[in-house]
Structure 1
Amino acid sequence: MENGINLFPLFLSLQVASLATVIGMAVGLPVAYYLSRSTSRLADVADTLLTLPIVLPPTVLGYYLLVLLGRNSALGVFLEEQLNIMLVFTPAGAVVAASVVSAPFFIKSARAAFSEIDKDMINAAKLLGRSNINIIFSIIIPLAWRGMLSGIILTFARALGDFGTTLMVSGSIPNYTTTMPIAIYDALQAGNKELTNVLVFIMTAVAVVCLFSLNRLEKKMGKGRNRRA
């Protein structure tokens, strides 16, 4: 640490986690709403597949992404030749990996929040002629925002702390794809205990802030339910 601490991994991790959270929300919001309202077998299959990233070992999930997005895959060849996009061993690959492992947390939280909304209220809005978009922004989101916010916090924290999947997809290229968890691993492998301790402290502080915010949110949600009761 002669030249000080390299904060690039921290900034990259924050960028990756932020983008992964936005992607998780954009993709997860309609999916969560569909799962909360559907009782079909297709919804059960979709729910199972979307939950897999939570239970699969990170290296297994990373391997699947490498097979899907690698330069030898049909999708990888299409992205590189047609769109000039390379995902493997790039920061974009880190975003994809973080999105895949973290989005299920938003979907689960949002789905639970949507399921608590009274269906009669939504049906009444439809009878009054409101469009689906209007219902989503005027009824569903205002009633489910606490659950959604809880999912956002969990999604950001999970994306920020991912190691195995991100390492498999984006690698550990200094000042390019090295996120904080990977930087901690590299510092430990290099025997730099001082740097390791500093990086671990930073990650722990961020995790504590996320968990504290989540706990405060859950308490407010509980008080809100008690008032309604």
Structure 2
Amino acid sequence: MQWSWHPVQLSFYVSAVATLVTFLIAILTAYWMIRKGRKGKILIETVFFLPLVLPPTVIGFFLIIIFGNNSWVGQVIEHITGNSILFTSTAAIIAASVVAYPLMYQSIKTGFISVDSNIIGAAKVDGATDWTLLLKVIIPLSFRSILAGIVLGFTRGFGEFGATLMFAGNIPGKTQTIPTAIYLAIETGATNIAWYYVLISISFSFVLLLIINRMKVDR
């Protein structure tokens, strides 16, 4: 096995796209869930948090079932694009999004709940619509929690291994990310190369966690 920058570049790309996708979904679902009268809230949130406790292989298995060539979703995608989604960078993005979502959702939801209800009430009295309330009141006042959620989601997606390995594979130059590159390096006895990827991963994760801790201190 030879050293390559591709796993590093792909890891950043996958994490960035997955973070963007997860951010949009988490913003909408968190706002939807905090609204009063939401039936089945506990059950729905339990489903949201499943990726936190399920083994990565289980997540990878379900992703294959949902997006595989034998599923109607996979067949529709293949009909539109002409290619299967399995063993592609898109599959890696989906896997990273699924495992990152619970952390981002929880952080964003916590920020939304912390917004003063009197401010929300005043905005409603002034005629603010649900979208105006979200975009101009709740999101700006939840900025720190949202940013923390983005950092946590990015870090989690950056380190995703099990589901990615099953769903996207470990194809050098195509779907190989830092975690899967480390796995292959250890398997082939290329310990020095594994150390390079490990140090990059630790350094980057340390910086991101340092940002989160600094944000907590500044509150």
Which TM-score applies when normalising by structure 1? 0.92
Corresponding residue number in structure 2 for 1:134? 132
User: Are residues 1:81 and 2:79 paired?
Assistant: yes
> How far is 1:39 from its partner?
4.9
> How far is 1:82 from its partner?
3.5
Corresponding residue number in structure 2 for 1:145? 143
Q: CA RMSD in A?
A: 1.4
SS at match of 1:81: helix
Deviations 1:158-203 (A, max 9, x none): 0000000111110011100000000000001000111011111111
> How far is 1:137 from its partner?
2.1
> How far is 1:14 from its partner?
0.1
Asked if the contact 1:37–1:115 (Cα under 8 Å) also holds between the matched residues in 2, the reply is: no
> How far is 1:38 from its partner?
3.7
Question: Structure 1 runs of 4+ off > 6 angstroms?
Answer: none
C-alpha separation between the residues in 2 aligned to 1:150 and 1:220? 13
C-alpha separation between the residues in 2 aligned to 1:179 and 1:62? 16
Asked if the contact 2:31–2:134 (Cα under 8 Å) also holds between the matched residues in 1, the reply is: no
Which ranges of structure 2 fall in alignment gaps of 5 or more residues?
none
User: Are residues 1:172 and 2:167 paired?
Assistant: no
C-alpha separation between the residues in 2 aligned to 1:170 and 1:39? 39
C-alpha separation between the residues in 1 aligned to 2:165 and 2:174? 12
> How far is 1:139 from its partner?
1.1
> How far is 1:81 from its partner?
1.4
- Count of aligned residue pairs for this structure pair: 219
C-alpha separation between the residues in 1 aligned to 2:125 and 2:81? 45
Corresponding residue number in structure 1 for 2:206? 208
Moved more, 147-156 or 26-35: 26-35
Amino acid at match of 2:106: K
Which TM-score applies when normalising by structure 2? 0.96
Corresponding residue number in structure 1 for 2:108? 110
Amino acid at match of 2:179: P
Deviations 1:89-127 (A, max 9, x none): 000000001001101111000001111112222122111
Amino acid at match of 1:9: P
Quote the sequence identity (%): 35
